[in-house]
Amino acid sequence: MPEASSTKLASTADFDRRDLDWYIDKVVQLIVFFAGISAIIFIIGIFIFITMEGLGFLFEDFTFKEFFLSPFWEPSDEDAPEYGILALIAGTASVTGLAMIVAIPFSLGAAIYIGEFATGKVRETLKVLVELLAAIPSVVWGFIGLSIMNPLIIDLFDVPVGLNVLNAGIILGLMAAPIMTSIAEDALKAVPDRYREAAEALGATRWQVIFKTVLPAAKNGLLGAVLLGVGRGFGETMAVLMATGHAVNIPGSLFDPVRALTATIAAELGETAVGSPHYQALFTIGIFLFIITFLINLTADLIVRGIRKG
């Protein structure tokens, strides 16, 4: 090798940057990669662990017909325990349904006001208030249902007990509304300003812009917000435990007490022996809850993503 070229041209070894920093970089990359996939690991882990604990029940006492179609949840009956979650599903569905009737109009209305009408300081203040409302812990909501709504309902409607579908539905609605407002407002914000400008340039008034342009464009995002609200209501535990009255019952009116799926687990898990059929049945309810909320979240995500792609 001629001497001149070896001084002018660097050999490949000079380009080799595999010094300490290079190795640190690779190690860090590996670490953050594992942190990145941790969410996937946890989701799979949650499913595996609750299935593992509920497996005994699924193989032995579980019959599809009894579990989903029997309204009798009597797991502590010594002779013939019955594990029917129909009444619990009815309880969860009735409370969530009422909560959505309360929350959907108000949260969408509030989102439209905050996102499209309010400006400057008013808008900032309202956004902060909504954010603070969303932060109130569910056990506090449950306590409000128990100690403030309960006597109120007894007085207003002249019923003996105020812990019922109405109470829990309103509480859950108030709880879900701020979160739905935030998500719905994000959906409105995702509509490009040029849509609004184009509509205004054609002479549309503000509400015409909103109704004919912004809302149709934000349709999917708003639907996603509603679905996430449903998922939230479905999975809420402490508030429905404290405000529903906790009686296994298929409700016939707003003033019937009910019991929710989540509340059943919260109330009974502490009293059951680890590994008993009752304990495993509670985990089986957990599997059911996991699958339902997974499907709701997945649907919401697909719908919201639909607009981004289209």
Partner 1 sequence: MFAESDLNARNKRVQGLFRMLFLMMTVLLIVPVAIILFTLVSKGGSVISIDFLFTNPTDGMTAGGIFPALLGTVWIVAVALLASVPLGVAAAIYLNEYAGDNWFTRLIQLAIINLAGVPSIVHALFGVGAFVIFFGFGTSILAASLTLAIMTLPIVIVSTRESLRAVPQAFREACWNMGATRWQTIRRIVLPNAISGILTGVILEVSRTAGETAPIMFTGAAFFLPFLPQGVFDQTMAMSLHLFVVATQVPGVPEELPFGVALVLIAMVLIMNSISIAFRMYLRGKKKW
Q: 272-291: which residues touch partner 1 (CB under 8 A)? A: 274, 282-283, 286, 289-290
Please choose, from the candidates 278, 240, 233, 272, the residue with its C-alpha nearest in 3D space to the C-alpha of residue 259: 240
- Under 8 Å between Cβ of 64 and 239: no
Tell me the closest approach of the beta carbon of residue 103 to partner 1, in angstroms. 9
Binder among 62, 72, 195, 294 for partner 1 (CB under 8 A)? 294
Q: How many CB atoms lie within 10 A of CB 187?
A: 25
Q: Under rule CB under 8 A, which residues in 74-103 are in contact with partner 1?
A: none
Using CB under 8 A, pick the residue from 63, 105, 197, 212 that binds partner 1. Answer: 105
Q: Give the single-character DSSP code of 82.
A: E
Q: Are 76 and 277 in contact (CB under 8 A)?
A: no
Q: Identify the bridge partners of residue 258 per DSSP, sorted by sequence position.
A: 245
> Taking CB under 8 A as the criterion, which residues in 212-231 touch partner 1?
228, 231
Size of the site for partner 1 (CB under 8 A): 87
Q: How far apart (Å, rounded) are the C-alpha atoms in residues 278 and 282?
A: 6
SS3 276: coil
Interacting residues with partner 1 between 8 and 27 (CB under 8 A):
21-22, 24-25
Using the contact rule CB under 8 A, the part of the chain among 5-13, 68-76, 174-182, 193-201 near partner 1 is: 174-182
Instruction: Tell me how far, at minimum, the Cβ of 272 lies from partner 1, in Å.
Output: 10
Of 7-15, 35-43, 154-162, 249-257, which segment contacts partner 1 by CB under 8 A? 35-43
From candidates 215, 297, 306, 307, binder to partner 1 by CB under 8 A: 297
Toward partner 1, which CB reaches closer, 222 or 228?
A: 228
Binding mask 230-259 for partner 1 (x = CB under 8 A): -xx-xxxxx---x-----------------
Contact flags string 106-145 toward partner 1, x per CB under 8 A: xx-xx-xxx--x------x-x-xxxxxx-xxxxxx-xxx-
CA-to-CA distance for 29 and 50, rounded, in angstroms? 32
CB of 121 to partner 1, least distance (A): 12
Q: 148-160 b/e with 16+ CB inside 10 Å = b?
A: ebbeebeeeeeee
Nearest approach, Cβ of residue 33 and partner 1 (Å): 6
User: Taking the complex as a whole, how short is the minimal distance between the CB of residue 278 and partner 1, in angstroms?
Assistant: 14
Residues 56 to 75 in contact with partner 1, rule: CB under 8 A? none
Q: What does the DSSP 8-state code read for residue 252?
A: S
Q: Which C-beta is closer to partner 1: that of 250 or that of 287?
A: 287
d(CA 59, CA 238): 30
CB of residue 201 to partner 1, shortest distance in Å: 16
270 phi-psi bin (left φ>0, alpha ψ -120 to 50, beta other): alpha
Cβ contact 102:136 at 8 Å: no
CA–CA gap between residue 45 and residue 47 (Å, rounded) = 5
Q: State whether residue 191 is helix, strand or coil.
A: coil
Residue from 63, 76, 208, 253 touching partner 1 (CB under 8 A): that is: 208
Block residue for tokens 């296994």: 248
Task: Give residues with Cβ within 8 angstroms of 305, minimum separation 6.
Answer: none
Residues 176-205 that bind partner 1 (CB under 8 A): 177-178, 181, 205
